[in-house]
Structure 1
């Protein structure tokens, strides 16, 4: 090697660094947070496969349009300073606090809300919608019953428990019939199941008539229309 060639070799700029898996994972988290900020704290990203590329600059990934938040394995293009350098197969894990009930319960049994406890867990492949704190808060302190059989210490789905219905099929319902200043109470029976605020059909034996009514409290309803 000539003296000139040796000098050029020693003074040449260092080669570009290889894009790392950590950079790709960070870029994925950033992209998800930019789209849906609220979920970023409940997401973990891991590279399954990525063919590293020699490049220096800002690493970014492009999220697919659907789903809004990737779940499980997803293939994404990887870019450096806006220029594509390859693609990566990532695993996007979702975590949340999910309710667990310590006792067995049959469908229709009372569920004591104060016994529910929450466990932080991976819900990426959770079957159904998990019963989270947010989902439970939607019941707003109403009495709860089991809608399905519950096994002790098993993560609950949202539809495993729910508010006690204000009326079930066949239950007695006192319906207030109001037309202007005229008010009448009718003894009826529910034709449908419903919670407070729901609209159901009720049947009155005395008038042999079916009405549509809105449930206002357990066993109470207000007339909407005559069917």
Structure 2
């Protein structure tokens, strides 16, 4: 009898919860606790914990009741398009600094294109926590 009970417990489907939008949210919205809910469904690719989405920025419109995927979210943008940003290139003891204009928006760790205002050249770099864009190797 114990074996049968054990087999039934092992065969019982595991229930999982999925993070869904509590209401329709526009792209570029910062997600708070009132924006999200847990639904008793298992959706492949969807987030399973609210903490994974809280404080993140919606990259696309999130519709009420629909699952939230990791690809739909990203870190909040700290650099906006056309914003003036400091550019920094560092290799060993050499460091070059310039001013640039962001050609897209992004958050910490995102790679964006920036136009160097001195040379009018377009470069790519990663956004640092202070809002500066680091270009070159290891950026």
Task: Pick the structure with more helix per residue.
Answer: 1
TM-score, length basis structure 2: 0.66
**Is 1:99 aligned with 2:19?**
yes
Match of 2:59 among 147, 153, 156: 147
**Is 1:213 aligned with 2:133?**
no
**Is 1:129 aligned with 2:45?**
yes
Q: Secondary structure at the match of 1:96?
A: coil
Q: Distance in 2 between matches of 1:111 and 1:162?
A: 10
Q: Secondary structure at the match of 2:24?
A: coil
Aligned-pair distance for 1:204? 0.8
Corresponding residue for residue 113 of structure 2: 201
Q: Deviations over 1:139-168 (max 9, x none)?
A: 6x7x4222222334x143213433223445
Q: Distance in 1 between matches of 2:80 and 2:38?
A: 30
Corresponding residue for residue 10 of structure 1: none
Q: Deviations over 1:202-222 (max 9, x none)?
A: 211212222232221263222
**Is 1:186 aligned with 2:105?**
no
Corresponding residue for residue 172 of structure 1: 84
Structure 1 runs not aligned, ≥5 long:
1-22, 31-42, 45-93
Structure 1 pair 96/170, CA: closer, same or farther in 2 (3 Å)? Answer: farther
| Pairing of 1:9-158 with structure 2 (within 5 A) | 26=7, 29=10, 44=13, 95-112=15-32, 114-115=33-34, 116-119=36-39, 121-123=40-42, 126=43, 129-133=45-49, 136=52, 143-152=55-64, 154-158=65-69
Q: Distance in 2 between matches of 1:188 and 1:98?
A: 41
Q: Secondary structure at the match of 2:15?
A: strand
Higher Cα Rg: structure 1 or 2?
1
Task: Pick the structure with more strand per residue.
Answer: 1
Structure 1 pair 160/199, CA: closer, same or farther in 2 (3 Å)? Answer: closer
* Contact 2:111–2:127, Cα closer than 8 Å, also in 1: yes
Q: Secondary structure at the match of 2:85?
A: strand
